Structure 1
Amino acid sequence: MSDSGGPDVTQELRLPWDEDPDDLYEHAPCGYLTTLPDGTIVRVNQTFLTWTGYTRGELVGHRRFRDLLSSGGQIYHETHYAPLLRMQDEVHELAFDVVCADGRQLPTLVNSMLGRDESGQPRAIRTMIFNATERRQYEKELLHARNIAEASERRVRVLQQIVADLAAAPTEAEVAESVVRAPEAAFGAASSSIYLVDTERDLIVAVTSTDPTTGNWDDMPRSSARAVARVAERGDLHVVASLTEAKQHFPDLVESMRRSGRNTVVLLPLTTGPTDEHGGVVTLGVLAFSFKGEHKLTDGELRVVRLLGQQAGQALDRARLYDDARRREERSKFLAETTGALDEVHRLQPRIHRLLDRLVPEVADWAEVRLQVGAVPIEEPKGTPAPDTELLMKRVAKVAASGEPIFALEGDPLDCSVLPLTARGLVLGTLALRMAPDRRDAAGERVFLSDLADRAGLALENARLYEQERQIARTLQRSLLAGDLPSGDNRFAVETFYQAAGQDLEVGGDWYDAFLITVDKLAVVVGDVVGRGIDAATTMGQLRSAVRALASNEDGPARLIEGLDRFCERVESARMATVAYAEIDLTTGEIAYCCAGHLPPLLQEPAGSPEFLMHARSAPIGSRAGNLSRTEHRRRLSAGSRMLLYTDGLIERRSRSIDKGFEILAREYARRRDAPLQGLAAGLADTLVGKDHADDVCMLCLSLGTEERIERTIGADRMQIALLRADLRTWLVAHGVGAECRDAVLLACSEAVANAIEHGYRDDPFGMIDVVATVTDDAVEVRVTDRGTWRGPLGDVSRGRGLQLIRESMDQVLFDRSDGTTVTMRRRRGEDDQ
């Protein structure tokens, strides 16, 4: 009783037995684990041990919780469980598979709480583990039931999808692909094949199959005795249910059925509505499908099979109409695009190549164009293999003579159509082609090919006329340029180059000239007249004549340009023309030059990098704006110098800055510093311009004599030897040193430099080597000097045969070791020297 006299509630709720807390923990309906923050198990209850088969001694202090998990569970523990527990201090209902002592996996659900001490540091993790075996089994049963329901639904969807696919398939090929997959998805067939009827060729064509190795997978005549052809002829569904039935009715199926183990074959005609002259159905193809072993189709399945044949037949009929329309559209598009593609190129030969590139392989697998342009026959084939040549030539000759096409017919041994290429009532030549197999269509081929030949003939005739006019324009252009250039008698040489714009019929205004003012003074000039056409060409000729008339031994370049300014007052078309003009004293090597609105000349002296001559610049001639005063600049050039004058077509491009053009020109000019003068300008044009250029290119390159003495300093690097050899070779050639003497000097010089690198600078990669060469009428002398330290006397050099080669190559070899090492080598010039 309570103090107040009422009943004692606590006493009334007391259980009739005492619960032991340890027993509750050990035998709880779930597993309990207590682990340290690193996962080490420090306490585990008996329930968990009973479930897993471990002993307490195997786990406590020896295993971590994560060690008991499956491989996937350990990854999930690391990537999800541990991070979430650290962030939230608790996780709930995480699924893990615990690996038991006997290796089986126990599905579980885990709840964990992270306990922390007063300072907030992790102290221990308490984990509750629930056995989820029954729940997992329940989930598997639910999944199995769901899979059964989905399979049933999928079969319904397959039938619906087949009809939808057939309705959406626009082409024969797409209809065939939809139909050939239907038996496998709808009825569980092992393989299916589609054959389509080609009435024009009187064939049944094998189109597609899910396994073409299981039957007679090839085309056949419609009159064939094979099962597919007979079903196509009758238009009736036929099910071959056994090998016995196949032997009786369709013997051609027996071998394939026996080999593949498929004892049931269905032959389904693909039919459309009553459209033939007798009001019956029309068979457009046959669907053949088979089953592993024996498979009896139910009445319901047979109804679906027949419905599939009708739907597929209607889809094929619709697709054929669509294919015809699409083919006509494709041909019209091809003709339009071919016409446009031919218009993009102007010359005859590229236009022929463009035509053949369009035809092969898109339309034909072989094609050939034969033309007679003037007295020059043109024959351009593409594709392999070529047809029978003798028969082709007879057909070509007949078409060229009659102007009537000859089309390939079924069974044609040549299998090649030949069409005349006509324009303005004349036969220019012939186009022969063999249509690709997938493009052959007897109904539309002739109209298409005739239209193609008409367009090609007109395009090729226009190209021929273009070339004729272009040649006239080029002839006029070159007749207006300078004629014979002066000969330099070893004091100078001049190389010129002109390349007209790639697609312009009009004469341009770029020009060059070189002439001797006196015996010892040379004038060179490059200019550019504004505009194109006959007026520009006339002005170009007048300017060139004016330059020659104004050039004198006393006045110089500035006075000449001032004279051209006055000339513009009478010849208005010369106004704003640009000119780069230079006079060279061949005795002293002094050059005087000026540029009136023109690009700066590019100078390459024997030593150093190319340099643009940026002095003495002023406005174009006849300009009424800016500084009208004309100045000139003088400097002395070394023998062997080269100067390039050029017009803007060489470097100006819309796709880059003018500075970039200057940079590329300087780099390419420097790269050719040792190249022969002849062909130098053409090489620059090939690299910088190419063939398809939009502007005229005009260049004049002047070379002044040769260096009497060559001096070079190179680093102690074997890679430098090749560059030195090239430099020295060019210098020897320029001095007319014969091949035998030249090769000997090059060999000896290379060996001397190699010895200096290997022995003099063996420990000094930054050493420098001086090479000096001189040439006289009698001999060539080369001196190689290094500042390195050789070990022992020169004769003790044990590696290689360098010194021996030097002595064998040269007539005289001297060594001086007073200040580093100097090797002086001398070789007499032979009778083959110039």
Structure 2
Amino acid sequence: MTETSRDIDYAALFDAIPTPVSLLDPALVFVDANQAYLHMTGRTREELVGRSLFEVFPPNSDDPQGDGMESLRASFRRVLETGKPDTMVLLRYDLPVRGGEGGYEERYWSPVNTPLLGEDGSVVLIINRVEDATSYVRDTLAGPSEPTGRGGDLPMVGGKIAESELYARARELYEHNEILRQAHAREHEVALTLQKAMLPVHMPLERRSAAVRYRPAQGSLNVCGDWYDMINLSDDRFAVAVGDVVGRGLEAASVMGQLRSALSAAMRVADGPAQALYGLDLYARSLDGALATTTVKIDIDTHSHTLTYSSAGHLPPMLCHPDQYVELLDQATDVPLAARSRPSHRPQAITSYVPGSVLVLYTDGLVERRDESIDVGLKRLAESLARHRDLHQEEIADNLLEDLGMNSGTADDAALVVIRL
């Protein structure tokens, strides 16, 4: 913090902001308001602070539009539920006339509601910024029009006609936005159901020290095309796989679910990872949307302390040895699923490990960034893995996500599996 920033009186700064701004708690009770807001509404700070917004400004029951309060409530509700700003279309919300005279003054507003988040990500305050558009609605469009410069004038518009037309168009836009929001909410609910059905939160394995994490892309549905799976093969052997379908949304999620189920079945009957991926490649050719899917499968033998693996175009898993050396498992990498004109057998490699090593499988969303080479992300992951390798697998997973910036949101979804061998 600089010397100048320490000297700023932020309370005075807030009060001096020329744009009308009020602060509301999650119960929509006024916490503060700046001078511009007080001047615009004709209220004092004492009349606002500690009282509910809708107590201070009750709705006009005689308003023929009758939806100002409900629209405003809906906006606040979206902010509280999503933790994201909400910009409203032109809103009519009449203010009670002061001085005990009764009645309401017709007013039009352009509000923006922005959340202030606490350390746990919850909304602790709502910043309610408003612009009074009443004079624009009433007066600006009420006068004669200017020449168009194209051989004639725009038609003369009366104040009430212009006001009604402007408001009607704004309300129409708002209603369409509400329909889109409801459709997105339904799609979001379906996506969550798919995620719960296809991406287990805990690996259903006994005596296996594994931690899994899934992070959806920022601003997308809560399930995309990444998947992970782990199954027991025998008392001394188990298999793990991760994969990534091209695309996002429900279509990618559907393809992901089918491929994950097919590979899960193949892992149980195939003689090794290469054969399992060969069978999955055959299946992917008959599945729309599966082209260019990447996946990697590893068989882990805890008796012989060996890893047998095969990759279909996927980023190499990382094996961190007890001496902190990080080995890339990249000796059996082939093209993505259905990428060749004809199916062909897949390569397979084997490497040994020392008990206490840590194996990490992941999808590209963990390491890829648009503004840097993929090698930078791989190096960052390897360094983080080596640094945290002595921790419990759950702590390793959390630290990897933190070090690679996944907790602040990314443009792609990511799956991560951490196994203590």
Q: Which residue of 556, 560, 571 maps to 2:287? A: 571
Contact conserved, 1:597 with 1:620, CA < 8 A, in 2? yes
8 Å Cα contact 1:649-1:695 kept in structure 2: yes
Maintained 8 Å contact 1:580/1:596: yes
Structure 2 CA distance for partners of 1:672 and 1:469, relative to 1, 3 Å: farther
CA deviation string 1:413-436 (max 9, x = no partner): xxxx997899xxxxxxx997799x
Structure 2 residue identity aligned to 1:691: S
Deviation at 1:608, TM superposition (A): 2.4
CA distance in 1 between partners of 2:108 and 2:305 (Å): 67
State the partner residue of 1:201. none
Aligned-pair CA distance for 1:687: 3.3
Matched with 1:543 is: 259
Displacement of 1:494:
1.4
Are residues 1:363 and 2:13 paired?
A: no
Number of the residue aligned with 1:81:
none
Between the aligned partners of 1:379 and 1:466, the Cα distance in structure 2 is 31
Alpha-carbon distance between aligned partners in 2 of 1:434 and 1:572, rounded to the nearest angstrom:
49
Q: TM-score, normalised by structure 1?
A: 0.34
Q: Does residue 643 of the first structure (1) align with residue 298 of the second (2)?
A: no
CA contact (8 A) 2:192 2:223 kept: no
Show the counterpart of 2:410: 693
Q: Say which SS state the counterpart of residue 518 (structure 1) adopts.
A: coil
Matches within 5 A, 1:698-713: 698-704=415-421
SS class of match (2:311): strand
More helix by share: 1
1:244-288 CA-to-partner distances (Å, cap 9, x unmatched) read xxxxxxxxxxxxxxxxxxxxxxxxxxxxxxxxxxxxxxxxxxxxx
Give 1:280-359 correspondences, 5 Å limit. none
Q: Given the superposition, is the C-alpha separation of residues 557 and 369 from structure 1 closer, same or farther in structure 2, using an over 3 Å criterion? A: same
Could you tell me which residue of structure 2 aligns to residue 508 of structure 1? 224
Relative distance call for 1:632 and 1:432 in structure 2 (3 A) is: closer
Q: Does the 8 A contact of 1:512 with 1:527 survive in 2? A: yes
Distance in 2 (CA, whole Å) between partners of 1:684 and 1:519 is 30
SS at the partner of 2:279? helix
Contact 2:30 2:53 in 1 (8 A): no
Contact 1:510 1:527 in 2 (8 A): yes
Q: How does 1:303-452 map to 2 (within 5 A)?
A: 361-364=17-20, 366-368=21-23, 383=33, 387-390=48-51, 393-398=54-59, 403=68, 404-406=93-95
**1:661 counterpart = 2:377:** yes
The higher radius of gyration belongs to 1
Structure 2: state its 5+ residue gaps. Answer: 1-13, 35-44, 69-92, 112-125, 141-162
Conserved 8 A contact 2:318-2:361: yes
Change (3 A) 1:468 1:553: closer
Q: 1:552–1:434: structure 2 CA closer, same or farther, 3 Å change rule? A: closer
Q: CA deviation at 1:569?
A: 3.6
- The SS at the match of 2:231 is strand
Q: State TM-score, norm by structure 2.
A: 0.63
User: Aligned pair count?
Assistant: 322
Secondary structure of 1:559 counterpart: helix
Distance 1:627 1:399, change over 3 A: same
1:527 aligned onto 2:182: no
**Is the deviation greater in 606-615 or in 676-685?**
676-685
Query: Is 1:673 matched with 2:362?
Result: no
State the alpha-carbon separation in 2 of the partners of residues 572 and 540 from structure 1: 11
Amino acid at match of 1:389: G
Give per-residue Cα distances to partners, 1:19-53, cap 9 Å, x unaligned: xxxxxxxxxxxxxxxxxxxxxxxxxxxxxxxxxxx
1:585 aligns with 2:296: no
- How far has the Cα of 1:370 moved from its partner? 8.4
Deviation sequence 1:704-738 (CA, Å, 0-9, x none): 2xxxxxxxxxxxxxxxxxxxxxxxxxxxxxxxxxx
- C-alpha change, 1:516 and 1:395, in structure 2 (3 Å) is same
How far apart, in 2, do the equivalents of 1:531 and 1:432 lie? 37
**Using the alignment, how far apart are the partners of 2:344 and 2:204 within structure 1?**
32
- Matched to 1:367, the amino acid is S
For residues 408 and 690 of structure 1, what CA distance do their matches in structure 2 show? Answer: 48
Q: 2:333 aligns with which of 596, 610, 617?
A: 617
Q: 1:573 to 1:441 in 2, by over 3 A?
A: closer
Residue 320 of structure 2 corresponds to residue 604 of structure 1: yes
Q: Quick check: 2:274–2:346 contact (8 Å CA) kept in 1?
A: yes
SS of the residue aligned with 2:381?
helix
Give the percent of matched residue pairs that are identical in Structure 1 and Structure 2: 29
RMSD over aligned CA atoms reads 4.4
Q: In structure 1, what is the Cα distance between the partners aligned to 2:383 and 2:15?
A: 43
**Cross-structure match for 1:497:** 213
In structure 2, the partner of 1:826 is none
Aligned partners of 1:406 and 1:419 also within 8 Å: no
Confirm or deny that 1:475 pairs with 2:130: no
Shift of 1:578: 0.7
Checking the alignment, whether the CA contact within 8 Å between 2:360 and 2:417 is kept in structure 1 is yes
